[in-house]
Chain A
């Protein structure tokens, strides 16, 4: 009986294709709007999160924080404590943290620099450089692309080797046709000191990181940033590292940031248990991201509800056409009743017809909504590429149609069918067989 009803509904819908299409238009628009909005909301969330992470937002900022007094009496005499060498995060602490929590800590982002200098072989064959120290995770977060050669390794970092990577611009201008890999460069710093580095790799110059080159400066005079392990810088500068008051820690991306933050805090606090003046504070930017996500969710839901109002309009349209259809088919209803169709069978038949009609509308609406989402996403990506080319690398617009929204839409379109189909169907079922049969 159920399948008969569906078949019957499909026949009646397809017999009047144009009318059915117009009937479901309201539902199509309603569901289409809801799906478009939820798809975009979901996509904004996804895009923000991936962009945020690719911009390094996924790392934790670890600070030293003064221990504030707890009582008013103490406040009266309290002075901000002086930060001494012993209070800082030491190299040893960092090494232990990396080793002991190796499954949590993806890398500690440490940067330092040696200053500006020059590499030259003769008066007119030279390159201006800035020697930077960076831990491996910094380079990873920068998404620097090694064009050829290799990146310096963890071993290089541990042993403070004088290996370095240079930008492709320098490789082209300074080494010209020579292969720079394996070459030893002698950097004469502005402060008069000079250091030797071995080139192990060439990275692609990235405008989004280092900015657009100043076009008034000839290419060969540009300052090239050379990266070397931060430990090497410490060693060369002979600044027997005093330690750090701030650490930037990248967390294993598969872990929950907040939990990782707690683990790291707990670990570091062990070193500060007995410190009377200082303690550890961790700022987790993803916590802010969570709030943004909540805000986007709320906005999406709120706008979806407004869009869903058009479902009511669509539903009323369906009800209207069902009423017309039932009047038109009064005779048919009469015949069916005369042939033994019970009232509830007639009611079920028309409710199912309304449900099938609305379901069609819902499915078409879902398809349109998802297509809309992809079109809008493509347009937005074009917009970013066109107007914010520097950020294009970090902003991947990913379109995620929300599965929950799709399922809910299917459910609600059917519910619309039941709700707005019930009155007409009941009207049909309440007809007296004799009146319906004799209806002309």
Chain B
């Protein structure tokens, strides 16, 4: 037990997570074979693995987009597998900020509206939404492009809008799934710089999922996934 244990609050607590597909069928397939790790408040964790290692499946479970087959997962102390769809939606809305490889911005809406979208679902007043969204766009340096639609933005700019959207409800964790995967190395670095800034200046807990060892090396803790198992966990507080 180190001292940080007493200070840092665990955000993710996973124990023996299994995930299988086609359950009960002849082609039943287990992707995750008992994953267990904790992530603490303010940590910048990368989960690195080659394609097929199960990192996307793991990311879906962490992001409450999918349910594990067995094992327990507590997010901020809540056993999210026990919760109903509405509550899980609410947790995704308020406690998790998603950043995807392919941005997943709504093509018809401008940057500002994309950033405001989660606030619509947390039923905030329209006036507050706008103010807050502008604030977030400023944070990622995109306030001058607020009225632009995604197809008028470059890849790096789109990803910065997506980060602003992820940040808008002040989530417990930011879950970034190959955030630089669709970007060239220069803009990729720019995006990574924003994550570092959020981590250092705002103390955000960030979980970065990537196949790139190089990118993973930028983070303080690296969890390596291989064939559905954690093969190493380096640099963590524990």
Contact = CB atoms under 8 A, between A and B. Distances in A.
A293 B118 CA distance: 58
Contacts of A343: 85-86, 89
Nearest to B122: A340
B63 A338 contact: yes
Interface in A301-342: 331-332, 334-342
B65 A433 contact: yes
Interface residues of A, number: 21
Interface string B75-114: 0000000000110011011100010000011101100000
A4 B120 contact: yes
B65 A338 contact: yes
Interface of A: 1, 4, 11-12, 15, 331-332, 334-343, 345, 433-434, 437
A334 B117 CA distance: 13
B108 A342 contact: no
A340 B93 contact: yes
Contacts of B118: 339-340
Contacts of B122: 340
B38 to A, nearest CB: 24
Interface of B: 60, 63, 65-66, 85-86, 89-90, 92-94, 98, 104-106, 108-109, 117-118, 120-123, 165
What are the 3 tightest A-B residue pairs by CB atom distance, in nearest-first order? A340-B93, A340-B121, A339-B118
A335 B104 contact: yes
A212 B85 CA distance: 85
A369 B66 CA distance: 52
B76 to A, nearest CB: 16
A1 B123 CA distance: 7
B121 A341 contact: yes
Could you tell me the dominant secondary structure of chain A's interface residues?
A: helix
Given A334-B104, A340-B118, A340-B122, 20 more contacts: A1-B120, A11-B109, A332-B106, A335-B104, A335-B105, A336-B121, A337-B89, A337-B92, A338-B65, A338-B92, A339-B117, A339-B165, A340-B93, A340-B94, A341-B121, A342-B86, A342-B90, A343-B85, A343-B86, A433-B66
A341 B122 CA distance: 9
B210 to A, nearest CB: 18
A339 B92 contact: yes
B92 A434 contact: no
Given A1-B120, A433-B65, A341 B89 contact: yes
A340 B86 contact: no
A1 B125 CA distance: 10
A433 B59 CA distance: 14
